[in-house]
Amino acid sequence: MSQAFDPSLPPGIPQDDGTVVTVGTFDGVHRGHWEVLQEIRQRALATGRRSVLLTFDPHPLRILRPEHAPSLLTTSVEKKEILAETGLNYAVFFPFTIALSRYEPRRFVEEVLVKRLGVKELVIGYDHGFGQGRSGDADTLRRIGEEVGFAVDVVPPVFADGEAISSSAIRRALKAGDPEAAALGLGRPYSLHGLVVRGDGRGRQLGFPTANLAVASSEKLIPAAGIYAVRGVSRAGTFDGALHLGPRPTFLGSPPSIELHLLDFEGDLYGEDVRVDFVSRIRDVRPFDSVSALVAQMREDVEEARGTLDVRRQMLREV
């Protein structure tokens, strides 16, 4: 029987029958990642072994080349929340260090995968690279596996709109303000968490009270500036909403903000963590000649958000 998901590898993990392992950064846990994770889960169930994901924290580039480190689709907390739904036995968040980056492929396999995880089957994605300078690949793993006693299998890419799904492609879509393309790759809407903090109260004055969100992690990817149709998830429930993300050019001197207006919601969210799911981009941020012109546009934005989200709900019911 499969054990409950454990977010870290405890000392003395049972290795009587060995494990089925995959290794990677898995930022976003997108549809391509999901194929790999379900493959190790099914193989583990078929053989009576335990399924193990080995991932790294922080992102390797954050240590090796911080100036080139990508913004994260999923923070460690978000990644754990998603992985909890995969049915895996263990997810190991392995500290990535300069010392680890210098491991030759064989050393990494023998000291980490074999000795610590008891690997008997290793499943990797089609573009997997590991070891010092990513010098190890699938052929390297197969050679080592034949010598030390584990099998290696490669899962092919998953495609969306003719392109192999990747974390990089999803980042590009979000930076271009295309949450729908990102969702196609992720298999779910892109989301971010924010703490509701006090703003200047201008939204309420204009007739559209907003929750001002502060994103805790500076590494989290923030989509392109714009007005979005979103869903907001809080302790009070899930609500349709419209989100302003970016500068506020109508009010000179006002800093950029992330402001969430929840439709048909009345209440106080100060101090709460709220998740925002990006559904569709409505328009660019632009300045208005007057406050009344801005308010008129906000009414249109809210109605467009409401209509878009109603249509999406109906589409999901029909699937």
Task: Catalogue the active-site residues.
Answer: 259
Segment (H or E) for 30 = none
Both tokens assigned to 208: 């559209």
CA distance 56 to 108: 13
The enclosing H or E element of 148 equals helix 138-148
Q: At residue 79, what are phi and psi to the nearest 5 degrees? A: -60, -40
- Is 310 in a helix, a strand, or coil? helix
DSSP 8-state symbol, 132: G
Dihedral, 213, 225, 163, 184 alpha carbons, nearest 10 = 40
CA separation, residue 216 to residues 196, 219, 274 (Å): 11, 9, 12
E strand or H helix at 72, and its extent? none
**Could you count the other beta carbons within 10 Å of the beta carbon of residue 20?**
29
| 3-class SS of residue 163 | strand
Neighbours of 310 (CB within 10 A): 11
**Residues 232 and 314 sit within 8 Å (Cβ to Cβ):** no
Backbone angles phi, psi at 217, to 5 degrees: -90, 125
Residue 249: count of CB within 10 angstroms of its CB: 11
